[in-house]
Each structure stands twice: as structure tokens, then as C-alpha cells.
Amino acid sequence: MFRLNEKLAVITGGGSGIGQAIATLFARQGARVVVVDLTEEAGAQTKAHIERDGGFSRVYACDVGNAQEVAHTFDAIVQGHGDVDILVNNAGISHVGTIETTDEEAFDRVYRVNVKGVYLCTKALVTRMAARGGGVILNMASIASLIGVEERFAYTMSKGAVLTMTRSVAVDYVGRSVRCNCICPARVHTPFVDGYLSKAYPGHEKEMFEKLSKYQPIGRMGKPEEVAALALYLCSDEASFITGQAFPIDGGVLMK
């Protein structure tokens, strides 16, 4: 079960954190994995992990918010490796602030990566998927898509858009065998979290880490590997009856 033998999977933001966990798990399950990240260096570690285990991986540098770069990159992927079976739109950035403390530049930056990036990458492949008889698109949303999260105005806005894009694509392409779902994680312990705490709370990292962990009633943050396991299921043939859905993986946040 849950094998992805010889399927071509493209993972944006696959160089670290959740994206890296998804990429390496998909490769272990037989997929040929293409990592798309801002630079080739950003994806090099993921590629090395996969190849060390005997898997296939390639890395393409691309700014997902740049239309020309996305078109060029995805054309190169298809020409070089064949039709894409799975697209995981994982690339994203965060932002801390209320509507009052979020300036226009920050708002545009979050929108450009988190919303426009998903739009551009999906548009680059969905027509090809539909023409060849199907494919799977999985978007990384957030529990912020479903509830209000304090001081995450721009981020919440962007992930709400990811959720509604997911449902729109699912409705438009269900008759053409393209499935589209999204995952809505609560806080997940990634290098991004450690970097954020170090920058925002120098000297108080441990205290703030415990506070952020306790936000989840289960008492800890999620692990990238746990999100990857859910992603594997949703992108596998075993999930062929599922489309247009949002899957929380939240340590009990939504039951509060």
C-alpha cells in the first residue's frame, strides 16, 4: 500500500522542513522526486538524502512567485523527466503581525509566495495532468485556514486563499481525473521555528518553544514526518476517492 512506484512528484519548498520530509518519504515509496526551491543549494541536502538511499532526485531553482521562472522550470521538468503525476505546493513563508502592524510590502510578499506561488505552479501543470488522464495536486494550507490565529493576519489570509483555491481546482477538474486536496497543520517543529525563536526571542527560546508547543492540546508541536505521512496517503492511489478536502493535522487544536 501507498507505493508511488515510478510516479514523478514535484515538491516545492522541498529543501527543508515539511517539504524535505515529504520528498524523502515519497522517494522511499518509489517516486521520482523533483525538488523545487529558491536555489539549487537549498535543495541539495534533500537530493543527497534521497540518492544515498538509492532513490531518484533532481533539484530545480525557481522563485514560485515569478511567472516566467515557473513556466520555464516546469517546462524543463516535463521535457527532462516526463509527465508530472504529483504536485505538492509546499513552498511558503510566514509573517507575524496584526492588520495594523502588517505593512503593504509584507502583505504583498506573503501573498506573492503563499498564494500566487500556488496559483502559478498549479496552472503550470493542471492542464497537462487533465490532458493525460489525471494527476494529484496537494496544497499546504494551515489550521489558520480554518480558525483565527493571533498576530498572523497576512499568513492567515494567504492560507485561507490556499484552502479555497484547493476546493475550486477540485470542483473544476474532478471530471478530468485531477484530484486536489490540502493539509492544514498546526505548529510543526522545523528549522524555521528554531530560527524564528532565535531571532525574535533571544535568550528566551526554550520558554517560547514550550509556550508554542502547549498551544496544541496534545502538548507538543507536530513533526515534519507526521505531515509527510498524511501527504503520502493523499497522493497515493489508496486516496483515489478523495478530492476537494482539507485535512487538519493539529494535535487537537480544532477540538478546543
Could you identify the residue written with the cell 531518484? Answer: 56
Question: In 3-state terms, what secondary structure has residue 184?
Answer: strand
What distance, in Å, lies between the first and last C-alpha atoms of the chain? 34
Cα-based angle 231, 233, 237 (whole degrees, multiple of 5): 125
What is the distance between the alpha carbons of residues 100 and 221, in angstroms, rounded to a whole number?
A: 28
Which amino acid belongs to residue 41? E
* CA distances from residue 215 to 143, 174, 176, 219 in whole angstroms, order as listed: 12, 36, 40, 7
155 an active-site residue?
Answer: yes
Q: Name the nearest CA neighbour of 102 among 158, 162, 152, 142.
A: 152
Catalytic pick from 60, 111, 119, 155?
155
- H or E element that contains 11: strand 8-12
What is the distance between the alpha carbons of residues 136 and 87, in angstroms, rounded to a whole number?
A: 6
Using an 8 Å Cβ cutoff, are 30 and 7 in contact? yes
Cα-based angle 199, 201, 203 (whole degrees, multiple of 5): 105
- Note the residue count of the chain: 256
Kindly list the catalytic residues: 155
